[in-house]
Amino acid sequence: MKLQFIGSGDAFGSGGRFNTCFYVDRSGGNFLIDCGASSMVAMRQQGIAPNSIETIFISHLHGDHFGGLPFFILDAQFYSKRREPLTLVGPPGFEQRLMEAMEVFFTGSSTAARKFDTVIHEIAPDQTLEINGVAVMAVEVNHACGAPPLGLRLDVDGKILAYSGDSEWTDALITLGRDADLFIVEALTYERKISQHLDYASVLENEDRIGAKRIILTHFGPDMLARLGDAGHEVAEDGKVVEV
C-alpha cells in the first residue's frame, strides 16, 4: 500500500502548498482521505486519475478538507466520464453540508442526473464502519466546524493508518494513533498554542503515550514551515509517496 500526499498545507496555501488530501493506492480499491478545495488542481498536477478513486473519507467539514468534493463530483460527471460508483464518507451532517456546498458553487448540481451512483455514508464518533474493504473508526477530536470533527483510524490490508484531522491537543489522539503503522498528524505551529489546532511540541510531549510506529507531520502554517528543519519527525510534502 502506498500513500501520496496530494496536499499537505493549511487552509490558506502557506508555502504554496495544496489543501489537505491524501491518496492511498492499494490492490483492493484506491481512496482519498480528505479532499480540500485545491485537490482537483493538485491531482491533475500529480497525474492522479480521479476515476481511480473508489472512496473518499472526510475528517471534518471545513473547506480545506472537503471543499474539493463539488469539483470532484462534477469532474466525474463531465470530464472524467465516471461510470463506477463513488462512495463518500463523512461525519454526521456531511450529506446536507455537501449538498449545500454544491448548490452554492454550482446551482442545480446537487440534484443533476449522473451516470454513476453516489453513495454517502455518515460515521459518528466511536463508530466503526466497513466501507469497500476498509474498516474505518471515527474518533471525535477538538476542532469547531459545525459538525463533529473526526480523527480517522483505518484498517487497510492489515495495516493501521491513522489521521488526526485538525484538532488542538486532546487525549483522544492517543486512542487514535496508538500502535498505528502510520499516524499522520497535524502540526500547524511549532510550539505556539492555537485554539482548535495542534502544535508540534504537543506531539513531541505525547509521542510515547501514543506509541505509533511512524509519525508524519502535515498541515503546516507559516510558523511551522519556518522550522521544518528543526522537526525530529518526517514531514509531508506535496507529492511525497510513502510505503505503509
User: What pLDDT, on a 0 to 100 scale, did the predictor assign at position 221?
Assistant: 98
pLDDT recorded at residue 110 = 97
pLDDT of residue 82: 98
Residue 38 has a pLDDT of 98
pTM of full prediction above 0.75: yes
pLDDT number for residue 80: 98
- The pLDDT of residue 10: 98
Rounded CA separation 21/230 (Å) = 24
Can you give the pLDDT at residue 5? 98
Strand order in the sheet with 30-33: 118-122, 86-90, 53-57, 30-33, 21-25, 2-7, 241-243
Residue showing cell 483522544: 172
Asked whether 161 and 24 are in contact (CB, 8 A), the reply is yes
Residue with cell 505525547: 206
The cell 509517496 sits on which residue?
Answer: 241
| pLDDT at res. 169 | 97
What pLDDT, on the 0 to 100 scale, is given for residue 96?
98
pLDDT in tens, the chain (244 residues): 999 999 999 999 999 999 999 999 998 899 999 999 999 999 999 999 999 999 999 999 999 999 999 999 999 999 999 999 999 999 999 999 999 999 999 999 999 999 999 999 999 999 999 999 999 999 999 999 999 999 999 999 999 999 999 999 999 999 999 999 999 999 999 999 999 999 999 999 999 999 999 999 999 999 999 999 999 999 999 999 999 9
Enter the CATH code of domain 2-243: 3.60.15.10
The kind and range of the H/E element at 194 are: none
